[in-house]
Chain A
Amino acid sequence: MGRSLTRRQFLKVAGAGVGGAAMLGMGSACGGMSYLPSGGSRMNVVVVLLDSLRKDHVGVYGNDWIQTPNLDALANESLRFTQAYPESIPTIPARRAIFTGTRTWPFRDWVPQKGETFFPAGWQRIPEEQASLTEILSDQEFQTVLITDTQHMFKASMNFQRGFDVFDYIRGQERDRWRAINSANADLVERMTVAGNDQNMMDKVRQYVANTWYREGEEDYFAPQVFRRSMDYLEMAEDGQPFFLVVDSFDPHEPWDPPKKYVDLYDDPDYDGPDPTAPNYDTSDYLEEREIERMRALYAGEVTMTDKWFGDFMNKMDELGFMENTLVMVMSDHGVSLAEHGFTGKVARAMWPELTDIPFFIRHPEGIGAGETSDFYASIHDIAPTILSQVDVERPAQMTGQDLTPLLEGDDPEEARPHFTLGYDDHSWTRDDDFILVCRSDGEEARLYDAENDPNMDDDIAGDNPDVVRRMYDEYILADAGGEPPSMY
C-alpha cells in the first residue's frame, strides 16, 4: 500500500539526515587529531649512547679495576640488563635500530651511500618509509633534542636529524672532514700511531689531529664537549618539557687520546713510547705486547674520562630536578676488540663478547626496577617501543622490538626471547642459554662456544657439534632473517 510523505515529514527526515551527516563529517574530517585535550602524565626521556663502550669495562658488570663510578651509581638506581646486545653492528645500523625500533639485520635493504668511506652492510640513512621515534615524540609535543659528536650521523648522506627540533652537531670527531687534513702536525700523528698501523688508520689519525690541534684543556675534548653542551640544554629545558634528549657521545670510540691524568690511572706515567690510539680493523699481530698494554690503558682512560663527564651531566640532571620526572636510558652500541682474541677494532668475523656485549640501564623516575637485573636478551631495537610505552604513545606496526616495561615492573617479558640473533656486515651471531654461534651469514666458517662453561668464547667446539651448528643456523639465523641473508662475500 502506497504511503505519501508529507512536506513536514520530509523536512524532518532531511534535517536529521543533514545534521547526522554534518556531525559524521566533522568527526571524520578532524579524525587525525584528538578531540580531547592532549596531555596527562608525561615524563621527559633522556637517552645516553656511549659509542664503543664495552660491557666488561663498566665496574658494575664485574670489572674491579676500571673507574666508572658514575655509570655504576646510575646502574644501582636502574634496571640493569646483563645480557644486552645490539641487533646490528656498527654505529649507523645500530642507530637506525634505536631510532626506528626496527631490525636492520640482515640488511636486505642496504644501499651503499655515496660519499662514504666505510661500507659495512646496513650503513645507510633511515629508510624514508620508516617512522622514527623522534618524529613520533615530536608529534606528541615533546621537544626533541640531539646533541652528538658522532660524525657519521651528520654526514650529508645521512638523515638522523629527522624529527629533532634541535640538533647540535659537534664537529671534528674521528674522520670528520672538518679541517684540512694536510694541516695535521706530522710529529703528533707519529706519536699517536704505531709502526704497524695500516694506511686507513694513519689517515684516520691524521684527520683527527688536523681537527683537534686547537685544544687547550680537558673541556675541549669530545666527551666533555658533548656533555657540557647537554648540560647547557638542561639549563633551558624546563620550559620545553616534556623533552626527548639524545646525548650521543662518540667517546670512548677511537682515537683514544684522553688527557694524561686518565691514562696514568691505568699505565706507567713515565711511558714514552708511541700511542696506539687507533686500532687496525684486523688481526692484532701488528702490535707488540707493550703496545697492546698501552692501547688498553688508552681505551680505559677514555672510558673513565667519558664516565667523569657523564657524571657531571647526571649531577646537573639532579640539580635541576629532572631525576624526578625523567626516564633515563644508558647504553652502548657495541664494544671493540683490544687483542683479546687476536683482533683489534671492529672486525665482522671477530664477534666475541668484547665486541658484541653492551651495557644497558633503564632508570625510571619513580624507582621502578631500581637495583634489579634482568638476563633477558634485551636489544637496542627495544628502546623505541619501550620509550613509547612509557610515555603512553601507541607504537607503529613497523617496530619489531619489544616493550621492556614488563621487565622493568618485574613481570615476564612481552614475548619470550629464548635466543637472540645479531649481525655485522657479512657475519651473523646467535645465542641461546646453551651455545653461541658465530658464522658467515651463509653458514660458512662457523664457530661454536659453550655459553655456560665458556662465556668468554675461547674454545671453539663447532667441529664436535655439527648438529648444533646446523640447528642454530637453520632455526635461529635463517628463521630470524627470513631466509638466507643477502650474499656479500
Chain B
Amino acid sequence: MKALRKALRFLLEWSFLLLVPAGALWALSPLGVYLSDYAFQTPNVFWRLFPTAPLLMALGLAGVFFFAMGEKGIAAKVGFWTVVAGAVVTIAGAFGRYYFGLDDEYIMTAPAWSAMRTGLFVLAAGAVVFGAASAREGSLPLWGALPFAIAAVAGLVSVVRDFGGAGAVMWISFGVGWAWLGLSLFIAKAAGYLKERRAAKAGDSTSSKTPATYI
C-alpha cells in the first residue's frame, strides 16, 4: 500500500511532463489538419484527436499547480482554474462537434463549435494569466514561465480569428510554449535533484532544506 502511494506520489509529481506531449500535439495541429485533409479529404479526422491536447494540458498543469509550484498568488490560481475551465469547454465542444454531430443538427446556433472556440479562447487567456503571474511571483522558474506567458499571448491572438500563416505560427508558438514549460520544469527538477545528490555526497547539511518545489 505504501509502495502504491509512493508510486502515485511519484506519478503526480512528474505529471507536469504531460505538458510536453500536450504542447507538441498542439504545435503539430496545423500539420495534422493538413495531413488529415490530404489523406481523408477532411480535416475532421485530426480534429477528433485534438481534444487530447487540452486534456493533457489541463492534467499537466494540475501537476504543476499542485506539486511543483512554490507559494501561489491569487493571479496564478485564477489563471490555473481558467485554463482548466477552458480545457473542459474545449473538450466538450470538440466532442459535441466531432463525435456527437451537434452542429449538424443545430447548424445556425452551432453550439459545439461555439463552445470549442470559446474554450480555446478561455484556455489561452488563462495561460496568459497563469504564466505572467507565475513569472512575476517567482513560483516557477522565470526562464520557463516567461516564454510560456509570451507564447500564451500569441496563442490568445491566434484563436481570436484565423490570421492565416501568421496565425498558424502563433498557434504553433502556443504549443511550443506549453512544451517548453514542461521541459523547463523537468530541467529544473533534474538540476535540483543533481544538486541535492552532490550536496549529500559532500555532506552538506543544508541540502536537506531544499524545498520540494523548484524555487
A residues engaging B (CB < 8 A)? 19, 23-24, 26-44, 141, 238-239, 241-242, 324-325, 365-366
- Assess whether B30 is interfacial by the CB under 8 Å rule: yes
Quick one: given A33-B37, A33-B43, A37-B97, are A27 and B166 in contact (CB under 8 Å)? yes
Chain B residues whose C-beta falls within 8 Å of the C-beta of A239 in the assembled complex: 104
Question: Whole-angstrom distance from the CB of A358 to the nearest CB of chain B?
Answer: 29
Question: Whole-angstrom distance from the CB of A165 to the nearest CB of chain B?
Answer: 12
Quick one: given A27-B169, A43-B108, A241-B107, are A36 and B34 in contact (CB under 8 Å)? no
Q: Which residue of chain B has its CB nearest to the CB of A34?
A: B162
- Assess whether B203 is interfacial by the CB under 8 Å rule: no
Chain A residues whose C-beta falls within 8 Å of the C-beta of B176 in the assembled complex: 19, 23
Interface 9-mer from B15-23, B113-121, B128-136, B186-194 = B113-121
C-alpha gap A11/B76 in the complex (Å): 33
Quick one: given A23-B169, A37-B47, are A31 and B107 in contact (CB under 8 Å)? no
* Cβ-defined contact, B110 with A26, below 8 A: no
Q: Which residue of chain B has its CB nearest to the CB of A243?
A: B107
Q: Which 9 A-B pairs have the closest CB atoms?
A: A27-B168, A39-B113, A27-B169, A30-B34, A30-B30, A35-B30, A31-B165, A35-B168, A325-B108
Quick one: given A19-B176, A365-B108, are A40 and B114 in contact (CB under 8 Å)? yes
- Assess whether B159 is interfacial by the CB under 8 Å rule: yes
* Cβ-defined contact, A39 with B103, below 8 A: yes
Chain A residues whose C-beta falls within 8 Å of the C-beta of B29 in the assembled complex: 35
Q: How many A-B residue pairs have CB under 8 A?
A: 101
* Cβ-defined contact, A30 with B168, below 8 A: yes
Quick one: given A30-B30, A31-B164, are A24 and B169 in contact (CB under 8 Å)? yes
B residues engaging A (CB < 8 A)? 27-31, 33-34, 37, 42-43, 47, 50, 94, 97, 103-105, 107-110, 112-114, 116-117, 120, 158-159, 161-162, 164-169, 171-173, 176
Chain A residues whose C-beta falls within 8 Å of the C-beta of B30 in the assembled complex: 26-27, 30, 33, 35
Q: Which residue of chain A has its CB nearest to the CB of B159?
A: A36
* Cβ-defined contact, A42 with B172, below 8 A: no
Chain A residues whose C-beta falls within 8 Å of the C-beta of B37 in the assembled complex: 33
* Cβ-defined contact, B158 with A324, below 8 A: no
User: A23's contact among B42, B113, B164, B172, by CB below 8 Å, is which?
Assistant: B172
User: B158's contact among A26, A31, A35, A42, by CB below 8 Å, is which?
Assistant: A35
Question: Whole-angstrom distance from the CB of B158 to the nearest CB of chain A?
Answer: 7
Chain A residues whose C-beta falls within 8 Å of the C-beta of B109 in the assembled complex: 41
Additional A-B contact list (15), CB under 8 Å, known A23-B172, A33-B33, A241-B107: A26-B27, A26-B30, A28-B168, A29-B31, A30-B34, A31-B165, A33-B30, A36-B158, A36-B161, A37-B43, A37-B116, A38-B43, A39-B97, A39-B103, A241-B104
C-alpha gap A242/B103 in the complex (Å): 10
Question: Whole-angstrom distance from the CB of B108 to the nearest CB of chain A?
Answer: 5
Question: Whole-angstrom distance from the CB of A361 to the nearest CB of chain B?
Answer: 20
* Cβ-defined contact, B169 with A42, below 8 A: no
Chain A residues whose C-beta falls within 8 Å of the C-beta of B108 in the assembled complex: 41-43, 324-325, 365-366
* Cβ-defined contact, B168 with A31, below 8 A: yes
Q: List 22 A-B contacts (CB under 8 A).
A: A23-B169, A23-B176, A26-B168, A27-B165, A27-B167, A28-B165, A33-B33, A35-B33, A35-B162, A36-B117, A36-B120, A36-B161, A38-B43, A40-B110, A40-B113, A41-B107, A41-B108, A43-B108, A239-B104, A325-B108, A365-B108, A366-B108
C-alpha gap A24/B166 in the complex (Å): 8
Question: Whole-angstrom distance from the CB of A58 to the nearest CB of chain B?
Answer: 29
